[in-house]
Chains A and B, each alone.
Chain A
Amino acid sequence: MVKRENERIPVSQQAHIVDKPKDLTTIGGTISVQINEKKITVPLGTTILEACQLNQIHIPTLCHHPDLCIAGVCRVCVVDVEGMRTLQTACSFPITSPIKISTSTQMVRKARRHIIDLLLSEHYGECYSCFRNGNCELQNLAKEYGVDNYTFGHVETPRYEVDNSSAAVIRDMNKCVLCKRCVRTCIDLQEVGVLEAINRGHETHVGTFLDKPLADVVCINCGQCINRCPTAALRANDPSDEIWAAIDDPKKHVVIQTAPSPRAAIGEEFGIEPGKSFTGELNTALRRIGFDRVFDTNFTADLTIMEEGTELLTRLKKALVDKDQSVKLPQFTSCSPGWVKYIEHFYPEFLDYLSSAKSPQQMFGALIKTFYAQEAKIDPVDIITVALMPCAAKKFECNRPEMVDSGFKDVDYGLTTREMAKMIREAGIFLPEMPKSQFDDPFGDASGAGLIFGATGGVMEAALRTAYELVTGREVPFKNLIIEPCRGFEGVKQASVKLENCVEQYKFLEGVDLKFVVAHGTANAKIVMEMLKKGELNDVHFVEIMACPGGCLGGGGQPIPTSAEIRAKRAEAIYEEEASLPIRKSHENPHVNYIYEKFLTDGPCGKLSHKLLHTHYTKRGKYIS
């Protein structure tokens, strides 16, 4: 729920938030209210909406979202509170006295229908060609309230130009209902601050700074706003038509890599409860669709661990043994392209702290068009690489001009979970009923360490498993390799492991308390960066940051809706799948060792891997001109 100190809540709304008492047994801790015919008891300060939800009474909502602060702007949730002159919004009404609530009087129903009619009178609706058709909150409301004619008119032609300047996020304000969920997402949840309401009255629209195209402002492409938009006003840039064309072209060899998070969530697109991975089924489905090879992104996640881990150990050595003052510590992870763009915009002076390792997606792209092309004897010109990602920012990342180290565009298309599900449906396949199959060689199945990259803390956990063992020759001192302090959804996590009895090569780390920090969501990244600025991270060695709340499993390309519970279920699915894998440490992945033997022969952070697997960053700054 909303935190009191969230200063963005308008003063008028702050009064609507009442702290729930810590001890419910004290006098006044709970209150009995009557909702319709039912008497219920709730903690003081519970909103009417929460009380109804707990008691299976349905209240329609639109501007309300469980991840965001209360706004109370759409009025769809109105109910009747006895003794009150007007209808009240359930989402923002805290229960502080024994009131009598009716959720379905004639007045309530009429008001709701009028509100929906008014929303539709401003909405350019063309549902059959709309990407949210069948999963649209506005469409559902219209259906639920039996809207059968446009009482207040309807928009026949689009009024706004669609903004498709961004490689990741497309904005079509003709479908916007001004619920401001995207505004609250971008400002509160992500602290990026790209979107706000511009102008007023009937001219109000959600816009960017000076109404610039999205590509020209500080948008980090996280796509979190897409996941929280109730309509199709925000959507990802969908490359599925181009991918179909490549598949249908017999000359093209189309390969796909799949990341762990989409596999743990794609079932939701087929009506399955969150919390089940469909890795094997997806492999089969992808082959039936026509992909020539199906690879596991976890393979390059394992490579990332080797590269990033080696880089960290090198930095530590330089700092501790060579006393090199110019070495930047802590080292920050660089696998989240939303986070990378965030730091490029907002903390460009700290770019040297970022690991130079590419994200797993981009490493894979570079390897497919070099190593794989060589092994499979295919001209890289004819290879199309697709990446199935939970992420909108990956679309931007694969279009970065520097991502051409193979001599070609390393990754041709970034595809989100939602778009993948659409392609699977289009091919007439019901994913959950597919037989299971394995990934293709030469990359094969990866280790569990790569798999847990999908959840916040996963990169850290995977890195620790490998780094600790490299340095001490023993497994990390945690039961079943589960490094508990890395798990869970706390915004900023801090912990440490002591390095003792180190092997000869790493004697310089003897007795060092390896300190790490894990954060997810760029609002938390901001907290970490401010700590860094103040010198509070001087004794920390490694920091993992993911741009999306919950990590990749909460990515901007994942199935809609999203909430804390859904993300927790997806995390469970990932951890469950990983626990069952035979290999759970990156450095034990035989395919990783094979590639260092056969191809990247000068080892992690060697010359060739620097060319193919590492990158550099751009100081963007936040000023817009």
Chain B
Amino acid sequence: MLVLEKNALSEEIESLVNQFGKDRSALLQILQAIQRKHKHISDFAQQEVARMMDIHPVEVNSVISFYAFLYSVPKGRNIVRLCQTISCDMYGKEKIEEAVQRELGISFGETTKDKRITLEYTNCLGMCDQGPAMLVNEKVYTKLDPETAINILNAIK
């Protein structure tokens, strides 16, 4: 990372720490904010958060590794998560699965070459009565069929 980039990141984290506080309970909010903006929380960011909150980098790392929605390595600009739990499965998740893989040319767990989309599974989204459900970044789409799913994918940048 360039020094300038590092400085900018440090400043950003500093303002987050000022906003949410130095208490341990503020850690998740701070990490989520970094994740939202940078799509991952880099090694450097983790150590800066630790320094400013006066905890140890490995503790930050531990929290990130615990939560499936926090990443320590860069992913695509958009994260698409298909629900893999039983209700959605019974509503025809498999068809959506096949369609999106074919459309993007990648399988689940992978990122498109242009870094536009990362495909992942998620567990129940609480939309079991409206399956199959899919989460695009922070937005939930329900009652999908292959066509709508592909349209949704094509609409995101």
Q: Report A's interface with B, CB cutoff 8 A.
A: 7, 187, 192-200, 207-210, 217, 622-625
Contact = CB atoms under 8 A, between A and B. Distances in A.
B65 A195 contact: no
B43 A200 contact: no
B87 interface: no
Interface in B6-61: 24, 43-44, 46-47, 55-59, 61
A193 B59 contact: yes
A210 B56 contact: no
B62 interface: yes
A196 B58 contact: yes
A198 B62 contact: yes
Nearest to A217: B58
A448 to B, nearest CB: 40
21 contacts: A192-B56, A193-B57, A194-B56, A194-B58, A195-B58, A196-B58, A196-B62, A197-B62, A198-B62, A199-B65, A207-B58, A208-B58, A209-B47, A209-B58, A209-B61, A210-B61, A622-B47, A622-B57, A623-B47, A625-B43, A625-B44
A341 to B, nearest CB: 16
B72 interface: yes
Given A196-B56, A197-B66, A624-B57, 14 more contacts: A187-B59, A193-B55, A193-B56, A193-B59, A194-B58, A195-B58, A196-B59, A198-B62, A198-B65, A199-B65, A199-B66, A200-B66, A624-B43, A625-B43
Main secondary structure of the interface of A (DSSP, over half): loop
Nearest to B72: A210
Size category of the binding interface on chain B: 10 to 19
6 closest A-B pairs (Cβ-Cβ)?
A193-B56, A196-B62, A196-B58, A209-B58, A198-B65, A200-B66
Contact of B43 (A193, A199, A210): A210
Which of A193, A199, A210 has its CB near the most chain B CB atoms (within 10 A)?
A210
Given A198-B65, A199-B65, A200-B66, A624 B59 contact: no
A7 B24 contact: yes
B56 A187 contact: yes
A195 B56 CA distance: 9
Main secondary structure of the interface of B (DSSP, over half): helix
A603 to B, nearest CB: 44
Nearest to B48: A623
A185 to B, nearest CB: 13
Nearest to B55: A193
Nearest to B63: A196
Nearest to B62: A196
B28 to A, nearest CB: 14
B66 A209 contact: no
A200 B24 contact: no
Contact of B61 (A187, A198, A200, A625): A198
B56 A624 contact: no
B95 to A, nearest CB: 29
B63 to A, nearest CB: 9
Contacts of A207: 58
Contacts of A196: 56, 58-59, 61-62
Contacts of A187: 56, 59
A601 B2 CA distance: 53
A198 B62 CA distance: 5
A199 B67 CA distance: 8
Contacts of A200: 65-66
Nearest to B67: A200
Contacts of B46: 209
A214 to B, nearest CB: 12
A187 B50 CA distance: 13
A525 to B, nearest CB: 15
A207 B66 CA distance: 13
A80 to B, nearest CB: 32
A197 B61 CA distance: 9
Interface in B100-148: none
A196 to B, nearest CB: 4
B115 to A, nearest CB: 22
A625 B45 CA distance: 11
A283 B115 CA distance: 68
A209 B51 CA distance: 14
A210 B65 CA distance: 9
Contacts of B65: 198-200
Contacts of A194: 56, 58
A193 B24 contact: no
Contacts of A193: 55-59
A197 B63 CA distance: 9
Interface string B71-106: 010000000000000000000000000000000000
A209 B24 CA distance: 18
A7 B22 CA distance: 13
Contacts of A199: 65-66
B47 A624 contact: yes
A304 B94 CA distance: 73
A190 B47 CA distance: 19
A35 to B, nearest CB: 36
Nearest to B57: A209
B92 to A, nearest CB: 28
A297 B49 CA distance: 44
A187 B61 CA distance: 14
A195 B66 CA distance: 15
A179 to B, nearest CB: 16
A201 to B, nearest CB: 9
B74 to A, nearest CB: 14
Contacts of A192: 56
Contacts of B55: 193
A191 B135 CA distance: 40
A625 B55 CA distance: 18
Contacts of A622: 47, 57
Contacts of B57: 193, 209, 622, 624
B54 to A, nearest CB: 10
A623 B1 CA distance: 14
A196 B66 CA distance: 11
A210 B61 CA distance: 7
Contacts of B59: 187, 193, 196
Contacts of B43: 210, 624-625
A109 to B, nearest CB: 33
A151 B105 CA distance: 45
A11 to B, nearest CB: 8
